[in-house]
Structure 1
Amino acid sequence: MDLVAVEERFGSWMAQYAYANLITQDKLLEMGRVDNGAVVVGGRRFTTLIAAFEPFPMPGLLPLMEQLAATGGRVIWSGPPPVLGRDGVPALETWGKLFGVSYRPEAEEGLMAPGRRVIFEGALGNLEPQTILTDLLIDHVYPTTPLEGVEVLARTQAGVVGTRRIFPGGGSAITLGFRPRDDQSGSLGYESRTWFEALLALGAYPGSGRWPDTNDNTEYLSRTTRYLFCRFPNGTVAVAPHLRDVPEDWDGGFARDAVRDAAAMKRVALPSEEIDLQGVRVHGHSVTYNGRWSMAFRMGARDGVSSQKPILLAFAGAHCDRITVDGQETVFADGPVDQIAWGPIPPERRVVPGAALQMMVHGTGQIRIPTTLTGPVRVYAEGARPGSRGPEVAATLEDGVLSIRMIPETRGRWLYAVQE
């Protein structure tokens, strides 16, 4: 995002979008690679790559985009076409060939279009028209001429501002010659969701495929329900009440001020802290759960054998005593506990002999934790020094369930299960 290089009044925040992972082109070229229709960064695969505002592409960015589209991925370029690259070399011809359009730059980059509407068609035909709000640079529009075989996706009074080129391998290169708005909090009195609806229509938010009639994609659910859902590479799914309907209402500054913060909070209606999921389908799982604040879970096979019935390997929640995942109910407490969390310690963190399971409970009573541990197990509270071994905690292991009797002395302390 090079907004500051174009106009000193703007920062990259002017083109940010919540339901995507953000990366600069510098880091993308340093850390990313194309693999069979996806960009791989940090071990994660991304099949859609968006340039939110990149008037000066670095050498290597457009070739990477072309490779992605040619192998089945999806490339979206919004905002101004690049006339020059960051190295000063002309980039417009290369860009035009990639996206299948021609663009004639003007002395004033783009056209002012305040009050005009972007009308969608083709693959984006179900989107509501978007009104261009200002005459500021960030809201300029960039009409292009699509070449033969390129689909028109959007128009304004000034001409075509949205196109899609389909590659033989199924990939696509898409232009959106304007700033798609996504005002999820409805700060103008109404919600605008052009980015989300466009990405959804173009296939950027696919479901897991477990339920053909349900989109259980975490980004899709986060934008269409009152919860924020997240997924992680190790299979963990997390959920919390979403703040997307809360308008941003603070006076800026570079430090917190308790008095001013309190005044701002009086004007803000926060959502309920309760989480109430009843058979919600998310990331390939059906989940029933009631609690508060936030929750995360990870299912896994016992002993790593995929054919065995999965268990609740890891969990974190508040004001809860159970969760049902894919029809399998796990009751881990006799009644709701304030907070509870557990998870296996990954091999790279283990020492011999050392802990294999880590847990913490803000509560008392009997706690039952599913585990893959076998054989004699001892549970210890953390000592006075972080990482040191403290007093032993009464525990039993039977049929893959570790039972611990929580007492006030162990409440809120890290507990570690050590396999003898």
Structure 2
Amino acid sequence: MKSTTTTGNLKKRLINKMATLGVIGLGYVGLPLAVEKAKAGFKTIGFDIQESKVDMVNSGNNYIGDVVNEDLKEIVKSGLLIATTDFARVAQADCVCICVPTPLDEYQQPDISYVKASAESIVPYMHKDMLIVLESTTYPGTTEELIKPILETSGLKCGEDFYLAFSPERVDPGNLIYKTKNTPKVVGGITPECTDVAAALYESILEAPIHRVSSPAVAEMEKILENTYRNVNIGLVNELAILSHKMGINFWEVVDAAKSKPYGFQAFYPGPGLGGHCIPLDPYYLSWKAREYGFHTSMIESSMMVNDRMPEYCAERSSKILNRQKKAVNGSRILVLGVAYKQDIEDFRESPAIRVIEELEKEGAEVVYFDPFVPEYREHGKVKKGELELTAELIRSADIVIVTTAHTMVDYDFVQEHAKAIFDTKNAMKNVKNRDNIELL
């Protein structure tokens, strides 16, 4: 299809920083992206349905760990970034990126209602020579099969009147090296012109290479591959960790030995399960879509089964440690260290630690937790508050301490000194010399 839009006009506006940019969804992906757009010198409008988030952004109050507080305050004060719940202001934007959640529903099937609603909210305010980019992780085909038809109800034609592309987010919360600004970006548009304009957008914002692919479906599958690769390999090491425990082998030592090979091996580590918004969810998107083609992703589904069972396995192992002390889980007091899904962040979405707590509480345990990054969390409509301080009294009061997140600011020597028994599912205590009361996953 030959584009009749004036591709050069929008590209020129992007190069000259004259375009107005929009971001729909101001969460872990959207807010850092909006901040980078504004820091690059673009007038940026952030859209969100939650007034509380909009109010915080407009007052310069940050709520995302990967955003520098001073950066947010400065760009808001300068007028480069403004947040709103008024989607009519989409009409002011030349480029809009959709960065909304793509969770699973209660049947473990893709819930793309947020993506669909975002596209529908854009339609009344679309104009010619506009770029829309979907960044939300989803199944291959979403951009072409779902987003494109919705946007074309505006009366505008994709590839002729407006541009549409998919560019997967690659946010890794807490990563000290790779942030939104310096992480390479993959871009795939409906037409070559769509890809060209979307690439120009990110080239104007980021300090990282832009990798162009031939279609949105390739870019969508690429993101699924990234996270499924991790899911499968983590499933492998979790299964081998269970076997190694039965064989009396320290699997953490096994991994350290294997990674001494300078080629052909990448280290993955076992743990209480998978957390975060991508790795535990993305394989479900692919396996769901695969059924449309009569294909079963057997290897992927097997790894998902292993990883999904890890919280239950960790609860079982904890019960066996208690049993050796002649204690039942029922009535025991258990201290869980860490409910964030990874170390040194405040994000507890899909955290396996929360599932470990639930498994233990089902068996009648009294479970308390300490997490310096997560003072409380809400799960199934209930709020659970953490302990405010990790004291010797708190540690001694527990029949067992379970380490489920390897936060670096925890004094593990102090924990070991005062704990009756410790089950370390993350090898967080690897540098503790006295190991008499420590058992590893």
Greater relative contact order (Cα 8 A, min sep 6): structure 1 or 2? 2
With normalisation by structure 1, the TM-score equals 0.25
With normalisation by structure 2, the TM-score equals 0.24
The structure where helix makes up a greater share of residues is: 2
**Which one has a bigger Cα radius of gyration?**
1
